[in-house]
Amino acid sequence: MTDRNKTVFGKFMKKNVPSQLYDDGITKLKVMPGEFVPEAMIKRFNMAPGLFVHPDSLLSEGAFEFAAEHKEHFIVTIIRDMNGRGDVLMASVIAKALKYRYGDQVTVQYVVHDGYEDILKYNPYVDKVFTGRGQVKQADIQINVNDLEFKSELQEYEKTGNIVKNRASIYLENLGLWLENKTPVYIVQREEKIWAKAELLKRHYVKEKGKLIGVEMEGSNISRTYPHMKEVIKLLEKAKYQVIILDEKVNDKYRYNIRQLGAIVDQCDLIVSSNTFGYHLAGALKKHAVAIFGSCNGNIWVQDYEKITACELKCQNTGASYAPHNGTPKGKCWWDLTCLSGSRARKSGEKSVKEAPECLTKIKPEKVVREVKKHFKTKKVLIVVLTWNLSYLSKQMIGSIRSFHDYDILVLDNDSTDDTVEWCIKNNIEVKVDKLPVDEAWNIGLEEAYNRGYDYALICNNDCILSSSYIDTVIEVAERRKSFTTTGKVVNKYESTEVKFSDIIKDLELPEKIMVPGDYSAILISRKCIETLGGFRHFAPRYQCDEDYMLRIRLLGQDLIKTYATTFFHKHGAGVKENKDYNMKRRVEEWNAGEEAFLKEWKIRIYGENRTVLNNLEKIKQLNPDWKGKIYFPLKLKRGKK
């Protein structure tokens, strides 16, 4: 198939057809289901058009790899030119996934509905934005997201009504792309922030008056518009919150255009929205929001927005009407509102409903306000990530960070020689570069967390991937048990049964007595712990500092609590074994030196057959009469700051 390297234009054999055999007397050709076939081959062998799916529509997996293999640079055009501003944001994750995989080798173009181009302005993953298909002059691969969403064959779970994936996941799955973090991106520029602050001040919104809540009155359709939003606003104002209407109109025009709206949302403390653009903006900006849902399953819609919660009622639609007290639960009905006249809420050529379904109208305003108040009980967390080369691991680790709580990320880099630092800067992630041993880097992280007023520090190695519930779960356990340090169950490549094991005992929480590898690879440390113990003691030059820290916690009568309700993956030893700058012989020497230093400090050996000595705190106290003086290791803490 020599013609394959001349062009990337072609089609894909449908996955549900048998393999096809062709023979033109010169060449025999076998085409497998799902295989990409260049246009030249299709014409040469006069292949039936019904066998193929065009990349313009769906199932384009393979096209990107083919283009990357045969071209130094290729262009992908993404088309999402229907109405729906939030949908443009959701579909932009395709561009994000392409840039993550192919970097500067790919140029990503985006075609949107006229007036929506500002949604993607400053998006680092989108190179060009057009408002008409005719404006696109060149493209190697064209993805029509409209077809991905509305023309692709239903999966089995969709046919039963049990929809379990949101649009971003469906897009990427159909295209053979993958992202650890599928949250879309919206960038508010510095000058826009300045404008928004001035605009709010002009309208008499000031921080001293209370939290600022942005409210959208109208949903994306009448069937998705929450009818009690005025009552919600009254309750919010009664609770001393400031409220700004985001979709307010002046002379029949919205007060704020898209860029201004994004800047205002960025200044709000929380958004209340009835399934429309506002909560998508909040999600992309990682702002807190309460999104109100009726016929749609809200938890699916907001699953990629870590600080957004869905306010909804359970649906027990029998297929005829909303039945809150009887009937067989069949899941949410999405756009197919059989309980209302007009049947479907939105489809070309079909009658649109004129009202909201009961599953939306019966949500009480008090329920919405209670959900709002939950968002103002969050904790502040500084996530400290230690990096040293292996940027592909760091990107995965940082991509897995998700939390309802308010967090910031601080990368402490050990003078990497790859693109780690550049990637952090490009993605607006705070990074400090200094060639330091692990314990000293950890201590910098603890100092920063304490001095900046955080409630917790989450210390992470870059060879970890956190489960989506990890941060929220360990904080919940730490708050409930008042533990100094908390971790989840580590899963690594040597323990293939660990995931099943953790599922069996997922409600178990145990105070750890003896560390296992990985316990300190994603550990939550409380502010009280930092204040009481200080930092990690140095053990020539890098190991045993975590063993010492855990021993000091236990000598104080406190605990490292391990919860089996959440896990994190740890590629054990990758940070040293895969690092080209690391000397394995030196690692052994350092380990032995650290073990001798621990013996000198605590009068005990802790490895091999001696490890069980850590269970006997009384013996350790006897061997170390001055143990109380060894508990605190000084850090540069600014006392009293919170």
Higher pLDDT, 316 or 172: 172
101 domain residue, yes or no: yes
- The pLDDT value recorded for residue 538 is 85
- The pLDDT value recorded for residue 6 is 35
pLDDT, one tens digit per residue, over 111-124 is 999 999 999 999 99
Average pLDDT for 385-400 = 91
Same domain, 306 and 390: no
Nearest CA-CA partner of 462 in 379, 560, 547, 578 = 578
In this predicted structure, the answer to whether residue 505 has a pLDDT above a threshold of 80 is no
In this predicted structure, the answer to whether residue 545 has a pLDDT above a threshold of 60 is yes
Same domain, 107 and 208: no
User: What is the residue whose two structure tokens read 């990690």?
Assistant: 536
- The pLDDT value recorded for residue 499 is 42
Nearest CA-CA partner of 560 in 498, 487, 493 = 487
> Do 462 and 410 contact (CB within 8 A), yes or no?
no
* Residue 254 belongs to domain with CATH number: 3.40.50.2000
- The pLDDT value recorded for residue 162 is 55
* Residue 529 belongs to domain with CATH number: 3.90.550.10
Higher pLDDT, 406 or 571: 406
Same domain, 335 and 426: no
- The pLDDT value recorded for residue 588 is 78
2 domain residue, yes or no: no
In this predicted structure, the answer to whether residue 30 has a pLDDT above a threshold of 50 is yes
Residue 434, classified by CB atoms within 10 Å of its CB into exposed (0-12), middle (13-18) or buried (19+), is: exposed
pLDDT, one tens digit per residue, over 560-588 is 999 988 888 887 665 556 666 666 677 77
- The pLDDT value recorded for residue 429 is 94
pLDDT, one tens digit per residue, over 140-194 is 888 888 777 654 444 444 445 555 677 888 888 778 788 888 999 999 999 999 9
The domain total for the chain is 3
Confidence band, pLDDT 50/70/90 cuts, at residue 57: very low
- The pLDDT value recorded for residue 444 is 96
Same domain, 292 and 155: no
75 domain residue, yes or no: yes
Same domain, 238 and 158: no
Higher pLDDT, 372 or 10: 372
Same domain, 385 and 355: no
In whole angstroms, give the CA distance from residue 37 to residue 56.
14
Beta bridge partners of 253: 250
Average pLDDT for 311-337 = 57
pLDDT, one tens digit per residue, over 181-239 is 899 999 999 999 999 999 999 999 999 999 999 999 998 888 889 999 999 999 999 99
Average pLDDT for 330-346 = 66
Same domain, 368 and 503: no
**What's the chain's average pLDDT?**
84
User: Which segment, 95-104, 134-143, 256-265, is predicted with the most confidence on average?
Assistant: 256-265
- The pLDDT value recorded for residue 541 is 57
In this predicted structure, the answer to whether residue 7 has a pLDDT above a threshold of 70 is no
The rounded radius of gyration (Å) of the Cα atoms in the chain is: 28
- The pLDDT value recorded for residue 35 is 76
Confidence band, pLDDT 50/70/90 cuts, at residue 16: low
Residue where one domain finishes, among candidates 375, 392, 418 = 375
In this predicted structure, the answer to whether residue 107 has a pLDDT above a threshold of 70 is yes
In whole angstroms, give the CA distance from residue 98 to residue 288.
28
In this predicted structure, the answer to whether residue 410 has a pLDDT above a threshold of 70 is yes
User: Which segment, 66-80, 319-333, 540-554, is predicted with the most confidence on average?
Assistant: 66-80
- CA-to-CA dists, residue 44 to 33, 37, 41, angstroms: 19, 11, 5
- The pLDDT value recorded for residue 348 is 36
Q: Which domain holds residue 467?
A: 378-630
Rounded percentage of the chain residues whose pLDDT exceeds 70: 84
In this predicted structure, the answer to whether residue 353 has a pLDDT above a threshold of 80 is no
Give the pTM: 0.80
Choice among 139-153, 389-403, 550-564 with the minimum mean pLDDT: 139-153
Average pLDDT for 245-252 = 94
Same domain, 364 and 450: no
409 domain residue, yes or no: yes
- Which residue type does 503 have? D
The separation between CA 120 and the C-alpha centre of its own chain, rounded to angstroms, equals 19
What does the longest C-alpha to C-alpha distance in the chain come to? 92
182 domain residue, yes or no: no
The separation between CA 111 and the C-alpha centre of its own chain, rounded to angstroms, equals 25
Same domain, 259 and 399: no
Average pLDDT for 92-103 = 92
Is the Cα dihedral 65, 70, 75, 79 positive or negative?
negative
In this predicted structure, the answer to whether residue 21 has a pLDDT above a threshold of 50 is yes
Cis peptide before 541 (omega within 30 of 0): yes
In whole angstroms, give the CA distance from residue 479 to residue 473.
10
In whole angstroms, give the CA distance from residue 169 to residue 179.
9
- The pLDDT value recorded for residue 468 is 87
pLDDT, one tens digit per residue, over 429-459 is 999 999 888 899 999 999 999 999 999 999 9
> Residue 119, SS3?
helix
In this predicted structure, the answer to whether residue 500 has a pLDDT above a threshold of 50 is no
Residue where one domain finishes, among candidates 128, 150, 175 = 175
In this predicted structure, the answer to whether residue 259 has a pLDDT above a threshold of 90 is yes
- CA-to-CA dists, residue 518 to 34, 116, 326, angstroms: 41, 46, 49
Same domain, 204 and 70: no
48 domain residue, yes or no: no
In this predicted structure, the answer to whether residue 379 has a pLDDT above a threshold of 50 is yes
Higher pLDDT, 361 or 350: 361
230 domain residue, yes or no: yes
> Do 1 and 22 contact (CB within 8 A), yes or no?
no
Same domain, 598 and 462: yes
45 domain residue, yes or no: no
Same domain, 366 and 397: no
Residue where one domain finishes, among candidates 141, 175, 209 = 175
